[in-house]
Amino acid sequence: MCSDESKFCIFFFFFFAYQGPRVWRKRGEAHNAHFLRSSVKFPQSVMLCGAMSSAGVGPLCFLRSKVNTAVYQEVLEHFMLPAADQLYGDADLIFQQGLAPAHSAKASSTWFKDHGIPVLNWPANSPDLNPIENLWGIGKRKMRYARPNNAEELKATIRATWAFITPEQCHRLIDSMPRRIAAVIQAKGAPTNYNHQN
């Protein structure tokens, strides 16, 4: 089961929708209001944690604070364990997580041992090896025409989009793992095309 956190910003979707138009300006018109588009320096955003396996996606957890070890253990307890039950039932699983400080903390390792969940050894800074990174990208592209006005509308849009991700999409991403590993080996650890792949 792969897990990850991701940030969704309201301004991101407006950018996606409006990034295409270009304008021709005459000399001296660079700051004419007619040719400018406003931007938001600190747009409303939400941070969330999700999980997936070849069987589909688990429930989303919207985070209200920075993820420290205590918060991460709450996420594991209240979202990851139910996701594991939903996706695996009584079958064995190996949990994949990033190497953020809260993930790799001794207390988190102890939590996994106490719950009998093996954690996959994982290299740092390796988004091209984590299929859920691509799943976030798929979700964000599906939302590109959404127009949430506030954080609550953004959350509702994310939930609706996440619900339409199929087990088949997840299975294809998990099935790509041997090719991802081969690509990373061939690139000698440099970034690969799997950073941007669907």
The mean pLDDT of 56-79, rounded to a whole number, is 93
Nearest 10 degrees: CA dihedral of 30, 33, 37, 41?
90
- Parse the chain into domains and list their residue ranges: 2-19+38-195
Architecture of domain 2-19+38-195: 2-Layer Sandwich (3.30)
pLDDT tens string 150-187: 899 999 999 999 999 999 999 999 999 999 989 989 98
Q: Average pLDDT, whole number, for the chain?
A: 85
> Rounded distance, CA 64 to CA 1, Å?
23
Q: What is the pLDDT of residue 41?
A: 55
Judged by average pLDDT, the poorest of 17-26, 31-40, 127-136, 177-186 is 17-26
Interhelix angle 10-18/131-142, rounded to 10 degrees, is 70
pLDDT tens string 119-141: 998 887 788 888 999 999 899 88
> Rounded distance, CA 101 to CA 152, Å?
29
